[in-house]
Chain A
Amino acid sequence: MVSRRRFLKTSATFGAGFTLSMTLPAAASKLASGAAEAKTVANAFVRISSDNLVSIMIKHIEFGQGTFTGLATIVAEEMDADWDQIVAEAAPANKELYSNLLFGAQGTGGSTAIANSYTQMREAGASARAMLVAAAAQQWGVPVAEITVSKGLISHASGRYASFGEMAGAAAEQEVPKTVVLKDPANFTLIGAETVSRKDLGKTDGTAIYTQDIKLPGMLTAVVAHAPRFGAKVKSYNDINARAVKGVVNVVQIDSGVAVLADTFWNAKKGRDALQIDWDTSVAMSESSEEQMQRFRQTAQQPGLPAVAEGDIAKGFENAAQIIEAEYEFPYVAHATMEPMNCVAQITDAGAEAWYGCQSTTSDQYAIASTLKVAPEKVKINTLFAGGSFGRRASKNSDYVLEAVQIAKANKSDAPVKLVWTREDDTNSGYFRPMYFHKMKAGLDSGGKIIAWHHQIVGQSIMANSALSMFIKNGIDGTSVEGATELPYHIANFAVNLNTVESQVPVLWWRSVGSTHTAHAVENFMDQLAAAADTDPLAFRLANLGDDTRYRGVLDLVAEKAGWNAKNTSGRLKGLALHKSFGSYVAQVADLSVDKNGNYKVDRVVCAVDCGVAINPDVIRAQMEGGIGYGLSPALMTEITIENGAVVESNFDKQQVLRIADMPEIEVHIVPSAEAPTGVGEPGTPVIGPAVANALFAMTGKPRPTLPLGVKV
């Protein structure tokens, strides 16, 4: 096998027009797997084994959104591999090799997995292919240009052929190409195909391994007694009874509470139940969420800071033929991932190792390193499938990860520790979508054009008081106002203001982040404006659209597919909404029906999406469907309320979430596009709430300022 190591930095410009530096380590010896099949590395993303499997290293966590499938598709396309020979593997933590090119650090978020790596993955595939072809040319003594590759078979007109596996060893001896030619998209066979199956396997027979399923020799399970109210701290505790519980091995205090370590989860939990803890609540939160909303409303009387100010707002309102106003209240919402937060951590003399659904890889790695005072390279992270994230696992301060590490450290042994949060621990930890209050005011001219727009947002900053606070510019946390500052519509006099307020409740990005509330406010308000202008909501939007024609593309498509102009024939009510987030354009029409008790049901949703090149249409449809279902929960029923500084809806008995009977039929239509691909994990979510609210508004004519909307018309 190849013993030398080659690190070649190539710099090239391709496709989307940005420059990439690829580091392509072409060595195999260190990566030979324990089993018989040695793996030959073509580059950091492609490993070919002599048994003809091609492993694609996936630098983005798979938590259901389809990265294993999508990224592997792109590489396989440029390699001309057979889809059946492709295996997807989670990449290790390595900032040099696996950074998100939009973040400059390894991590997943902002629906960027495809967007940041499309060209990079194409290059990785093309580079691996070029090395295979060069090896074949050399072996067969024929020109490179005469060799063809199709479905994993390298062949020459002379009748010679070889599989990737057969040529792998020789390919590894080839120079890594400095530049590669990428395919003409017209020749794509995997990208855009309907027949590409998913690569995140083991999810129908119980064999897929999640953090919760990790079992290591000598591993202990830890359960933590957390503060009963936000901001409370341990004053003192008595662990005599806890230590007496069978299976309990140790009890340790950490920053966030008291951890019980035991042989099994149930014994650890019993140990936790037996703890006696005296909490210092002197600085704990005592406010309720209702009181907090009152405070937000009062704050809205202050002008706040400008996020956008275009034109002359005062003049715009002066010239308006009519002025319309609205308010919206958005409660806290939990991510409520199906798998509650958890993490396995082990500290050894060599450093630390962690096993979990790791989303913010580099920042978690550095946070662990700094907690343990070791170099980041000494922290090995094994990224596993996660039972959902929706933003939660991209913790801005690595909260649950460091909790596991702190417990392992306080336990003073090299035993691996599996931190398990119960559902209640998970919900009570907070890190919710922030609560928001919105105030809107718009002026229409006599022709139904919006000529003035003032949108004021009051809420907590996600990035404040964290390492990310450096991204707050001029007092504006962009995540508080995104989706409100750039609208589909052209409005000459346009202002968005932000009042950032404090609360002790930890907050975090929640699937589609700012758009999850801003899109609702903007799009529901649009229907109120349309009503004031006595115009159909679709026509009103079309009349006010700006220059970006991709908005019109999704509007036209959704209107056609949903039969917008034939409404009311079925006795159903339709609502329409339009929004762009993370570069992807989405329009949805929701059909509602009402029963004799005045309860409504969302029967059907038609969704049009323009996300550039559609890498995998079925994954795109799945993400739109799931995004709509996820967004329906807070639209219809889900909220987290706080009483005396503590969460009320800690488990699914109180916290209502969407169940199967509430799930509408969904039709997804993808706009054909040659634009660079953009994300689909989040953009389906923010559009459904306003689409439903608009259908209700169409029926009642009454604005609904409070979320969730509830079950009654």
Chain B
Amino acid sequence: MKISLNINGAMQQVDADSDTPLLWVIRDNIELTGTKYGCGVAQCGACTVHLNGQPIRSCSMPIGAIGDQKITTIEGLQSKQSEAIQAAWDELAVAQCGYCQSGQIMSAAALLKANVNPNDDDINGAMSGNICRCATYKRIRDGVKLAAQKINAVEV
């Protein structure tokens, strides 16, 4: 069955059943592999993408339910938030194995878009759906704050 999806600003025709999770269509059909599989049951956040700018777990989102909503993956993430986050992540050497980090960055980007000055509770709330088995959480927390500073410094 052909389904069209708006991924990173381009319309993509995919040949997959409508119950196929978005994650596997992104990875196997569209061949964008930055979005990761970690659990398949919306518990780990490795598969986080944005749907109309909101973070969602793509492993638990059937493509048939998406319609013309806009999907953004780590490859298509281009915003002042994401640039600040990536710079902060590099500066603080956040990533260890790195496998969770696409998902972390997608969640962090959505958080900073909604809240340019998150405190620890805000960060915990927005990021608690993203597991990092390397436990880089301390640097993720510091990284979100550093990214917020960078964004605010630009705006001043």
Q: Which residues of A contact B (CB under 8 A)?
A: 63-66, 197-198, 200, 202-210, 212-213, 215, 221, 246, 263-266, 336-340, 385-388, 390, 420, 422-423, 618-619, 622, 625-630, 632, 651-653, 657-661, 663-666
CB distance from A474 to the nearest CB of B (A): 36
Q: What residues on B are CB-neighbors of A202 within 8 Å?
A: 98
B117 within 8 A of A: no
Assess whether B137 is in contact with A660, with CB atoms less than 8 Å apart: yes
Complex CA gap A305/B129 in Å reads 46
B20 within 8 A of A: yes
Assess whether B139 is in contact with A622, with CB atoms less than 8 Å apart: yes
Complex CA gap A387/B22 in Å reads 21
CB distance from A232 to the nearest CB of B (A): 23
Q: What residues on A are CB-neighbors of B137 within 8 Å?
A: 629, 658-660, 663
Given contacts A64-B98, A661-B128, contact A388 B33 (CB under 8 A): no
Given contacts A205-B74, A660-B123, A660-B127, contact A338 B135 (CB under 8 A): no
Assess whether B74 is in contact with A338, with CB atoms less than 8 Å apart: no
CB distance from A489 to the nearest CB of B (A): 29
B155 within 8 A of A: no
Assess whether A264 is in contact with B135, with CB atoms less than 8 Å apart: no
Assess whether A266 is in contact with B134, with CB atoms less than 8 Å apart: no
Assess whether A208 is in contact with B124, with CB atoms less than 8 Å apart: no
Q: What residues on A are CB-neighbors of B138 within 8 Å?
A: 625, 629, 663-666
Contact of B41 among A63, A653, A661 (CB under 8 A): A653
Residues 55 to 109 of chain B near chain A (Cβ within 8 Å)? 73-75, 85-86, 89-90, 93-102, 105
Q: What residues on A are CB-neighbors of B16 within 8 Å?
A: 264, 266
B112 within 8 A of A: no
Assess whether B27 is in contact with A338, with CB atoms less than 8 Å apart: no
Complex CA gap A221/B27 in Å reads 12
Given contacts A203-B95, A338-B134, contact A422 B40 (CB under 8 A): yes
Given contacts A204-B86, A386-B97, A660-B128, contact A626 B136 (CB under 8 A): yes
Complex CA gap A423/B131 in Å reads 13
Assess whether B43 is in contact with A659, with CB atoms less than 8 Å apart: no
27 CB < 8 A contacts A-B: A63-B97, A64-B97, A65-B96, A197-B93, A204-B94, A204-B98, A204-B101, A206-B32, A206-B74, A210-B36, A336-B133, A338-B132, A340-B37, A385-B97, A387-B100, A423-B44, A622-B96, A626-B96, A626-B135, A629-B135, A630-B135, A651-B40, A652-B39, A658-B137, A659-B128, A660-B123, A666-B138
* CB nearest neighbor in A for B32: A206
Assess whether B99 is in contact with A210, with CB atoms less than 8 Å apart: yes
Assess whether B93 is in contact with A204, with CB atoms less than 8 Å apart: no
Q: What residues on A are CB-neighbors of B40 within 8 Å?
A: 422-423, 651
Assess whether A657 is in contact with B131, with CB atoms less than 8 Å apart: yes
Q: Is the interface of A mostly helix, strand, loop or mixed?
A: loop
Q: What residues on A are CB-neighbors of B46 within 8 Å?
A: 338
Complex CA gap A209/B99 in Å reads 9
Assess whether A651 is in contact with B98, with CB atoms less than 8 Å apart: no
Please give 5 more A-B residue pairs, beta carbons under 8 A apart, in addition to A660-B137, A663-B135, A663-B141: A204-B105, A206-B75, A210-B99, A337-B99, A388-B133
Complex CA gap A65/B133 in Å reads 12
CB distance from B146 to the nearest CB of A (A): 13
Assess whether A339 is in contact with B38, with CB atoms less than 8 Å apart: yes
* CB nearest neighbor in B for A618: B93
Complex CA gap A397/B86 in Å reads 39
Complex CA gap A658/B31 in Å reads 31
Complex CA gap A207/B140 in Å reads 19
Complex CA gap A529/B89 in Å reads 44
Complex CA gap A425/B9 in Å reads 35
Assess whether A64 is in contact with B134, with CB atoms less than 8 Å apart: yes
**Size range of the chain B interface in the assembly:** 35 or more
Complex CA gap A122/B113 in Å reads 47
Given contacts A64-B97, A204-B89, A213-B33, contact A338 B20 (CB under 8 A): no
Q: What residues on A are CB-neighbors of B31 within 8 Å?
A: 215
Q: What residues on B are CB-neighbors of A627 within 8 Å?
A: 135
Q: What residues on B are CB-neighbors of A338 within 8 Å?
A: 36, 38, 44, 46, 97, 99-100, 131-134
Given contacts A204-B89, A206-B73, A423-B40, contact A657 B97 (CB under 8 A): no
Q: Which residues of B contact A (CB under 8 A)?
A: 16-17, 20-21, 24, 27-29, 31-41, 43-44, 46, 73-75, 85-86, 89-90, 93-102, 105, 123-124, 127-128, 130-141
Assess whether B90 is in contact with A204, with CB atoms less than 8 Å apart: yes
Assess whether A652 is in contact with B33, with CB atoms less than 8 Å apart: no
Q: What residues on A are CB-neighbors of B140 within 8 Å?
A: 660
Which of A338, A625, A661 has the most B CB atoms < 10 Å from its CB? A338
* CB nearest neighbor in B for A247: B16
Complex CA gap A657/B39 in Å reads 13
Complex CA gap A388/B137 in Å reads 15
Q: What residues on B are CB-neighbors of A204 within 8 Å?
A: 85-86, 89-90, 94-95, 98, 101, 105
Contact of A658 among B28, B123, B135 (CB under 8 A): B135
* CB nearest neighbor in A for B102: A206
Which of B101, B128, B138, B141 has the most A CB atoms < 10 Å from its CB? B138
Which of B16, B75, B132, B133 has the most A CB atoms < 10 Å from its CB? B133
Q: What residues on A are CB-neighbors of B21 within 8 Å?
A: 266
Given contacts A266-B16, A338-B99, contact A209 B134 (CB under 8 A): no
Contact of A651 among B37, B41, B95, B141 (CB under 8 A): B41
Contact of A198 among B20, B28, B35, B93 (CB under 8 A): B93
CB distance from B80 to the nearest CB of A (A): 15
Assess whether B43 is in contact with A653, with CB atoms less than 8 Å apart: yes
Contact of B101 among A203, A215, A630, A658 (CB under 8 A): A203
CB distance from B28 to the nearest CB of A (A): 4
Q: Which 8 A-B pairs have the closest CB atoms?
A: A206-B34, A629-B135, A387-B99, A203-B98, A64-B96, A64-B97, A663-B137, A206-B74
* CB nearest neighbor in A for B38: A338
Complex CA gap A422/B47 in Å reads 14
Contact of A208 among B39, B98, B128 (CB under 8 A): B98
Contact of A209 among B17, B33, B74, B124 (CB under 8 A): B33
Assess whether A200 is in contact with B43, with CB atoms less than 8 Å apart: no
* CB nearest neighbor in A for B93: A198
CB distance from B148 to the nearest CB of A (A): 16
Assess whether B36 is in contact with A652, with CB atoms less than 8 Å apart: no
CB distance from A65 to the nearest CB of B (A): 7
Complex CA gap A246/B17 in Å reads 9
* CB nearest neighbor in B for A221: B28
Complex CA gap A423/B39 in Å reads 5
Complex CA gap A420/B24 in Å reads 12
CB distance from A147 to the nearest CB of B (A): 35
CB distance from B47 to the nearest CB of A (A): 11
Q: What residues on A are CB-neighbors of B99 within 8 Å?
A: 210, 337-339, 387-388
Assess whether A660 is in contact with B98, with CB atoms less than 8 Å apart: no
Complex CA gap A215/B32 in Å reads 11
Q: What residues on A are CB-neighbors of B74 within 8 Å?
A: 205-206
Assess whether A630 is in contact with B133, with CB atoms less than 8 Å apart: yes
Given contacts A203-B101, A338-B46, contact A657 B86 (CB under 8 A): no
Q: What residues on A are CB-neighbors of B97 within 8 Å?
A: 63-64, 337-339, 385-388
Assess whether B96 is in contact with A205, with CB atoms less than 8 Å apart: no
Assess whether B75 is in contact with A652, with CB atoms less than 8 Å apart: no
Complex CA gap A512/B129 in Å reads 27
Assess whether B101 is in contact with A652, with CB atoms less than 8 Å apart: no
Assess whether B33 is in contact with A387, with CB atoms less than 8 Å apart: no
* CB nearest neighbor in A for B46: A338
Assess whether A212 is in contact with B86, with CB atoms less than 8 Å apart: no
* CB nearest neighbor in B for A264: B28
Complex CA gap A526/B119 in Å reads 39
CB distance from B156 to the nearest CB of A (A): 25
Assess whether B141 is in contact with A660, with CB atoms less than 8 Å apart: yes
Q: What residues on B are CB-neighbors of A265 within 8 Å?
A: 24, 27-28, 37
Given contacts A215-B31, A266-B21, A660-B127, contact A337 B133 (CB under 8 A): yes
